[in-house]
Amino acid sequence: MSTTVFGTTEFFDTDYASLISTVCSKSEVRSFTKVFLPVAYSLICIVGLVGNIFVVMTFALYERTKSMTDVYLFNMAIADILFVLTLPLWAVNYAADKWIFGNFICKMAKGIYAINFSCGMLLLAFISVDRYIAIVQATKSFKLRARTLAYSKLICLAVWASAILISSSSFLYSESYDFATNETQICDHRFDKTSDSIVLKSLLLCLQVGFGFFIPFVFMIFCYAFIVKSLQQAQNSKRNKAINVIVLIVVVFLVCQVPYNTVLLMAVANMGKAEKSCDSDNIMAYAKYTTETIAFLHCCLNPVLYAFIGVKFRSYFVKIMKDLWCRRYKKYNKRSSRINSDIYLSRQTSEILTDNASSFTI
């Protein structure tokens, strides 16, 4: 026994100690995620739920013909609601530092998370396309939009179906398993021993950045650039406000999504590297969790950016609220508040610019 101890002392006291790579401890990151993520996720969940439920309610109680953007906004609100509903599970996961809900809920939570993330991003792209058709192709827009509106259910069904298909790998690969190094239960992607996991992981990350960021980004830039160009040609008092709203939408998208996607791309670049330092890996983890939270914040801002910024949506929303308030607290008063038929849920940022007998919907 004494010889063994002597032997080890001798071994570790030599220069060999510097040649030994030890496990990179993430205990500091864990103490950060234990506090920061549960708080952030809870706040995003509450704010996101309230804003998006308002959008769904206004849409459901709104009787006039809906525009294509209205339909997209409604679906985006549904996707955002489903997305934020998975956040409490992750809040508990990070607070407890282990997955306690079992394998089935792990697959469901990962799957729903992925479905709604991709669905939301896809709808952002579709909204910009619809606005492009409405404004830039204004002369043809009436016919075209009426036609697409007829297919609105089909288009939304296709969006949801593709979002589900995209996320099937999340259902397939996610599982709740025992992570031996930290002796804890985690819910994450897990690949077979036979498959090349580095390639699969990098591929998944690249595709996430590609479709979760670049596709909606390209569509938004292309469509909104043409919209702004068209608006500049129009002589209208509301023109500047409409341009400001578009700039705001693009800026918020960039501020929310660029940091997170940059970190994801850096993670892909680092994945192949043989010698990563523990310090930089810790910094990357902090950066990932912080930027991810900012990216999630986007779904709280969607109702504000796309619905509440519109004057028509706001006034209709106020009417509905008043109506509900009256029904609840003045039951004896049979006089129901009339909803002004002129006020209706606006499309997009909901400015209708009537100029030269053509209506521009931004």
Partner 1 sequence: MPGLSTKSLILASLLGLLLLLLCSTSQAQSNQDCCLSYSKVRLPRKVIKGFTEQLSGEVCDIDAIIFHTVRGLKACVNPKEDWVKKHLLFLSQKLKRMSM
As a whole number of angstroms, the distance between CA 167 and CA 292 comes to: 18
State the CB neighbour count (10 A cutoff) for residue 291: 19
CA distances to 71, 104, 135, 316, 322 from 59, in Å: 9, 33, 23, 10, 16
Cβ 77 to partner 1, closest distance in Å? 19
CA-CA distance, 353 to 361, in Å (whole number)?
7
Measured from the CB atom, is 33 or 361 closer to partner 1? 33
Measured from the CB atom, the residue of 30 and 241 that comes closer to partner 1 is 30
- Who contacts 348 (Cβ-Cβ below 8 Å, separation ≥6)? 69, 127, 130, 131, 134, 306, 310, 361, 362
Q: Is 43 exposed, middle or buried (0-12, 13-18, 19+ CB in 10 A)?
A: middle
Distance CA(114)–CA(165), nearest Å, equals 10
Residues 139-158 that bind partner 1 (CB under 8 A): 139-140, 144, 158
357 counts as binding partner 1 under rule CB under 8 A: no
Shortest spacing between CB 269 and partner 1, in angstroms: 12
Binding mask 178-207 for partner 1 (x = CB under 8 A): -xxxx-x-x-xxxxxx-x-xx--x--xx-x
Figure out which of the listed residues 82, 149, 284, 297 binds partner 1, where binding follows CB under 8 A. 284
The 10 Å Cβ neighbour count of residue 294 is: 15
| Nearer residue to partner 1 within complex by CB, 182 or 315 | 182
Q: Does 132 bind partner 1 (CB under 8 A)?
A: yes
One of 67, 118, 257, 261 touching partner 1 (CB under 8 A):
118
Q: How far is the CB of 189 from partner 1 (least distance, A)?
A: 6
* Contact (Cβ atoms closer than 8 angstroms) between residue 257 and residue 295: yes
Q: Which one of 58, 69, 170, 185 is in contact with partner 1 (CB under 8 A)?
A: 170
- Please report, as residue ranges, which positions from 11 to 50 form the binding site for partner 1 (by CB under 8 A): 11-12, 16, 19-27, 29-30, 33
Closer CB to partner 1, residue 278 or residue 321?
A: 278
Could you say which residues in the range 223-282 bind partner 1, by CB under 8 A?
A: 271, 274-278, 281
